[in-house]
Every structure is written in C-alpha cells, then in structure tokens.
Amino acid sequence: MNTTMEILRKHTMKIVLVLIVIFFSVMTKGQMFAASSFQALIAQNSYVFVLATGMLMCMLTGGNIDLSVGSFVCFVGAIGGIMMVRGGMSVPVAMLLMIGAGVIYGIVEGFLIAYINIPPWIATLAGYLAFRGWGTALIGGSSIAPMPENFIKMFNGSVPDLFGGTEMNITCLLVGVIACVLFVFLQLKGRNDKMKKGYEAEGMTGVIVRCVLVCAVILLFAFKLAQAGGIPNNLVWVAVIVLIYNFITGKTTIGRYFYTIGGNVEATRLSGIDTKRIFFLAYLNMAVLTVISAWMTMGRLSAATATAGTNYEMDAISACVVGGVSAYGGSGTVFGMVIGAALIGVINLGMSLMGIDANWQMVVKGVVLLAAVVFEIMNNKEKTKD
C-alpha cells in the first residue's frame, strides 16, 4: 500500500501545485516569489475560497451546483452600496441587512430545490439571470463608490502589528510560528492517540515529512506577508471559514449526512435522516457565504459594480473540481478544495505576471479543469480495479 505510486497518487494535486509554482517562478524570473505576489494571491482569491466552501457543500449532496452565486454577489453588493453609500447607513447594520437578504434568498432557493424538487441548476439559473439584471438596475450605471473606510478596512486591510515592527510585521511572523507549532503538536498527538488505542498509525517518517513541508509553506507565507504589511484581514476570514467547515464536514453528524446523501439519497432517507432538510441547508448556507464573498469583493474594489461577481460561480465550481470534489457528489474535502482554489489562483496570478492575455488565461483554465476531471475519473478507475 505504502508504495511511492500510492503516495504520488494521493498527493497529485499538491505536487502539481508545486510544479506550477516553480514553472511560473522561472517564467517570471522570480517575481512569483515577491512579497507583493503573496499578498495579491490572497487579495484576489479570497472570494473563491469562501464561495468554493459553499459550493463544496452543494456538490457533496450529489454534484449539485449553484449557478446564481456570481449574480447574487452583484445584487447584494448593490443593496449594500445603496444602504451604505447613498443612504449613509451605519456599516454593521448594513452588513446585517445584507446577511438577511442572503438568508431570505437561501430560504427561497433551498425551499424550491429541496421541497418542490426543482432541479438545482434550473432554479439557480433563474437566480443567475434575475440577480444580474436586478443588481445592475439598482446600481443604475457602472458603480456605487466609494465604500465607507471602516467597511473597506475589514476586508482589504491587515491585522495591525502589536509589536510595532518597522520592516517586518512581527505579529504576522509570530502567528506563523504558532501555527507551525500547533500543527506539529496536533499531528503528533493524533498519531500518539491512535497508537495508544491500538489502531493502525502511519510511520513516523510520513508525519515528519508532512510537518516539515507544511511548516515550510506556513513560514514562507508568514515571512513574505510580514514583509508586505502583515496578515491580510481576508486571510483571517478565509482561515476561520475553512476551519469551521473542515470541522463540520469531518466531525459532525450533519456533515456526515452531506456525504451519505451524495452517495445514496434513498439509503440515507430510509435511515431516518431528513434528506430534504440537508438539501435545504446546503443552499441556505451557500447564499450566506455568498454574502461574505460579496463583502470581500466590495472591499477590494471599494465599490459595488454591475460587473462584480461575473463568472464567480464558475471559479468556485472549478476550484472544487480541481480540488478533487466529485462532480457526482459524495466525496471531497475542504482541504482538497483549498488546494484546488490555490492552484487556480496561482495560475491566474502567474499568467497575469507573465502578461498573458485574459482570453488565453481562460483557455488555460478550461484545459486545467478538464485535465483535473479526467485525472480524477481515471484515478478512480484504477482504484476500483485493485
């Protein structure tokens, strides 16, 4: 089992990610490793991580997708812009109302899909059309700007340095070190627990290799981000959301049901689980996360624009699929999705740094997506043969 091939197969996407990073570093003559690139990577892609988390939950239930998220980003942005900029409403109240809008939309969408049995892609296609139009009409031109300073700061700013470092942000470095220590501690503890209970545990080498590699990545990010002004607030949002959903999908009963429904709805229903409620929650959850990603988008652009959110649904779906989330449902992990989203983010950034035309960037992304799906299916075939 523990052959080199097995390891390669299990970590293919991570290896591809590394290779692509190296490729772009060479092509851009090291620009890829500039501190600003790290910051840009996070600033430009945080919305993908949030949307892809929601999309993951939808896809788990059986390859169901939500096409309306991009348009809903635009729409929620429009009402947020109107409230905060034109109406001068206080930022927290406006943000709460935006969440409220997300909840209402999620309830309607979830109800139609779960209880009226409208196929998800049709129900959300309606949202895709309607919210783009409605949002654009509300904005009534190209954009509503500028957003209040305190709103922008929540997403575009960085965590302030508690220690007042000048060239380097010391808080950022410290957080990086703490994260590493925590990671190593949890890995060792997990292995120890398994051994104590007499379960099969992996070899120490594997644990050490993983700890070294993960810590290297964390420290690299911490170092580069410290040079570029500290931990971006967006990164905090993303990290919190990813950790929460990783917990839900991996450890809770409700998370388990998302997987079993994707594997076999009838078997899950006949086991006494309210499957309709799970479908409902998937779409309610998606709508709420969409609002958060709308905030991120508004923060970055400092405006609500009519084109905001264009193709975001596709970015989210791509991130999931590249990250190994099954297009048929029932399998996929939050960390897999994170790798997928990072891969796409790196490709975007690298190509932008190389100055490749945006149209060709789309061609490349399409090819990568297809390659990922083909790979996943071939890989599964191999596995079932064994």
Partner 1 sequence: MAKVLLEMKNITKTFPGVKALDNVNLKVEEGEIHALVGENGAGKSTLMNVLSGIYPYGTYEGDIVYNGEVCKFGKIKDSEEKGIVIIHQELALIPYMTIGENMFLGNERGKSAAIDWNETYGEADEYLKMVGLSESSRVLVKDIGTGKQQLVEIAKAMAKHAKLLILDEPTSSLNEKDSQALLDLMLKFKKEGMTSIIISHKLNEVAYVADKITVIRDGSTIETMDKHTTEISEDRIIKGMVGREITDRFPKRHNVKIGDVNMEVKNWTVHHPLYPERKVCDNVSIKVRKGEVVGISGLMGAGRTELAMSIFGQSYGTNISGQLYLDGKEVHLKTIKQAIKNKLAYVTEDRKGNGLVLTNPIRINTTLANLDSISPRMIIDKDKEYQVAEEYRGKLKTKCPSVEQNVGNLSGGNQQKVLLAKWMFADPNVLILDEPTRGIDVGAKYEIYCIINELVAAGKSVVMISSELPEVLGMSDRIYVMNEGRIAGELSAEEASQERIMSIIVSSGKGA
C-alpha–C-alpha distance, residues 25 and 218, integer Å: 18
The phi, psi pair for 303, rounded to 5°, reads -165, 160
Using CB under 8 A as the binding rule, whether residue 197 contacts partner 1 is answered as: yes
142 or 380: CB nearest partner 1: 380
Q: How far is the CB of 53 from partner 1 (least distance, A)?
A: 19
Determine contact, residues 134/124, Cβ cutoff 8 Å: no
Using CB under 8 A as the binding rule, whether residue 330 contacts partner 1 is answered as: yes
**Residue type (1 letter), 58:** C
Using CB under 8 A as the binding rule, whether residue 331 contacts partner 1 is answered as: yes
Using CB under 8 A as the binding rule, whether residue 254 contacts partner 1 is answered as: yes
- Helix 312-322, helix 69-81: angle, nearest 10: 130
Q: How far is the CB of 226 from partner 1 (least distance, A)?
A: 35
Read out DSSP for 112-170? HHHTS---HHHHHHHHHHHHHHHHHHHHTSSEE-PPPHHHHHHHHSBPPPTT--SSS-H
Using CB under 8 A as the binding rule, whether residue 381 contacts partner 1 is answered as: no
The interface mask with partner 1, positions 269-288, x = CB under 8 A, is xxxxxx--------------
Cβ neighbours of residue 333 under 8 Å, at least 6 residues apart? 246, 249, 250, 324, 325
Determine contact, residues 82/140, Cβ cutoff 8 Å: no
**190-197 long-range CB contacts below 8 Å, 24 or more apart?**
none
Q: How far is the CB of 6 from partner 1 (least distance, A)?
A: 14
147 or 281: CB nearest partner 1: 281
C-alpha–C-alpha distance, residues 117 and 238, integer Å: 32
Q: How far is the CB of 232 from partner 1 (least distance, A)?
A: 31
Using CB under 8 A as the binding rule, whether residue 263 contacts partner 1 is answered as: yes
Using CB under 8 A as the binding rule, whether residue 268 contacts partner 1 is answered as: yes
Residue in 266, 357, 358, 359 binding partner 1, rule: CB under 8 A: 266
Residue in 61, 68, 260, 305 binding partner 1, rule: CB under 8 A: 260
Q: How far is the CB of 19 from partner 1 (least distance, A)?
A: 28
Q: How far is the CB of 330 from partner 1 (least distance, A)?
A: 5
Work out whether the CA dihedral 56, 61, 64, 69 comes out positive or negative: negative
Q: Which positions lie near partner 1, rule CB under 8 A? A: 197, 199, 251-254, 256, 259-260, 263-264, 266-274, 330-331, 384-386
